[in-house]
């Protein structure tokens, strides 16, 4: 099997197991976990930059206002996504967080249509309509929008849109994003320390260890994903990306016994059907194109 596939499986597998990691920190407020994630992520990527000696991009980025503005926006979106996900997991909404990452690919497709002028084929529009029907059904049945799922899907889709047009690579971009997050996060952690409410170093050793390794847990799957994305086709990534929400969903239902009522079965089934149609049509189209080109030649 292609090494890139293994990198992709490892990345999405780690993301899929994240609920277990954040649940182990359930007794720590979500904002404090997020601040540790931001702070330690920067320290970890700085070590990687030192090892790889990749600093030439920094001067250009700092002196380019457009780049700074783009990465301020991406940092805000990423921190929003991280916070809502951590809060959702620890508040007992793992199933809904998984829904967010199930519908994220379709939201990303719509972003491409509205912001990049991309076009969709008829079957792809059918898939998006089915997913929208699933979300509407869940909203009607529960009497409220599944805001956790929609926030996760929209924030990450917008983040992907910005990173698609941003001038920096994956490691450099993550470094700049975490640098922009670092001082607010560190300031908040120092405030908690000053008020005597900080968890790090004041509770059990396992909690402190998990908070300290939040940066590694954040950066490693991102780097694995970047390594895999360079080696495999986009269509393969499209299939692998469902590993993460599937694992999250199974953890929510089987490990933490979150309710999966008949209403959720119907809503999720519409969304799963939409993803199946969209992925299947995409694979069929990509395989058909070379044959049509060969006939044309």
Number of other CB atoms surrounding residue 55 within 10 Å: 11
d(CA 231, CA 48): 21
Note if the pTM is more than 0.95. Answer: no
143: left (phi over 0), alpha (psi -120 to 50) or beta: left
124 closest CA partner among 134, 136, 110: 110
Residue at token pair 């059990």: 204
Whether 8 and 231 have beta carbons less than 8 Å apart is answered as no
> pLDDT digit string (tens) for 86-118?
999 999 999 999 999 888 888 888 887 887 777
| Rounded Cα–Cα distance for residues 86 and 31 (Å) | 9
Q: For residue 201, how many C-alpha atoms fall within 13 Å in the half-sphere facing its CB?
A: 8
The pLDDT score that the predictor gives to residue 295 is 43
* 92 closest CA partner among 256, 247, 283, 234: 256
214-229 and 3-16 helices cross at what angle (nearest 10)?
A: 150
Q: Name the residue ranges covered by the structural domains of the chain.
A: 3-296
Could you list the pLDDT tens digit for every one of the 297 residues in the chain? 577 788 888 988 999 999 999 999 999 999 999 999 999 988 888 888 888 777 788 877 877 888 889 889 999 999 999 999 999 999 999 999 999 988 888 888 888 788 777 777 888 888 888 888 988 888 888 777 889 999 999 998 888 888 777 787 777 888 888 899 999 999 999 999 999 999 988 888 999 999 999 988 988 888 887 777 667 765 566 677 888 889 999 999 999 999 888 888 888 899 889 888 887 877 787 777 655 454 454
H or E stretch at 13: helix 3-16
DSSP 255: I
Tokens of 171: 């490691």
């Amino acid at each position: 099997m292609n090494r890139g596939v293994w990198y992709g499986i490892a990345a999405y597998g780690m993301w899929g197991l994240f609920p277990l990691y954040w649940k182990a920190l359930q007794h720590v407020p979500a904002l404090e976990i997020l601040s540790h994630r931001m702070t330690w992520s920067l320290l970890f990527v700085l070590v990687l930059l030192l090892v790889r000696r990749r600093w030439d991009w920094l001067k250009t980025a700092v002196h380019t206002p457009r780049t700074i503005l783009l990465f301020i926006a991406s940092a805000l979106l990423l921190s929003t996504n991280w916070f809502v996900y951590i809060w959702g997991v620890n508040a007992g909404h793992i199933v809904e967080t998984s829904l967010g990452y199930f519908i994220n690919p379709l939201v990303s497709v719509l972003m491409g249509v509205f912001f990049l002028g991309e076009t969709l084929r008829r079957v792809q529009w059918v898939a998006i309509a089915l997913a929208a029907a699933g979300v509407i059904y869940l909203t009607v049945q529960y009497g409220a929008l599944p805001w956790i799922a929609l926030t996760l899907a929209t924030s990450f889709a917008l983040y992907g849109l910005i990173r698609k047009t941003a001038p920096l690579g994956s490691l450099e971009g993550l470094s700049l994003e975490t640098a922009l997050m670092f001082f607010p996060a560190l300031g908040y952690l120092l405030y908690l320390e000053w008020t005597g409410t900080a968890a790090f170093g004041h509770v059990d050793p396992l909690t402190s260890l998990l908070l300290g390794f939040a940066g590694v847990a954040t950066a490693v799957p991102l780097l694995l994903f970047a390594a895999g994305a360079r080696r495999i086709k986009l269509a393969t990534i499209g299939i692998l990306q469902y590993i993460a929400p599937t694992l999250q969903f199974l953890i929510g239902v089987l490990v933490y016994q979150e309710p999966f009522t008949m209403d959720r079965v119907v809503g999720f089934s519409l969304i799963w059907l939409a993803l199946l149609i969209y992925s299947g049509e995409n694979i069929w189209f990509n395989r058909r194109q070379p044959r049509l080109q060969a006939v044309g030649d």
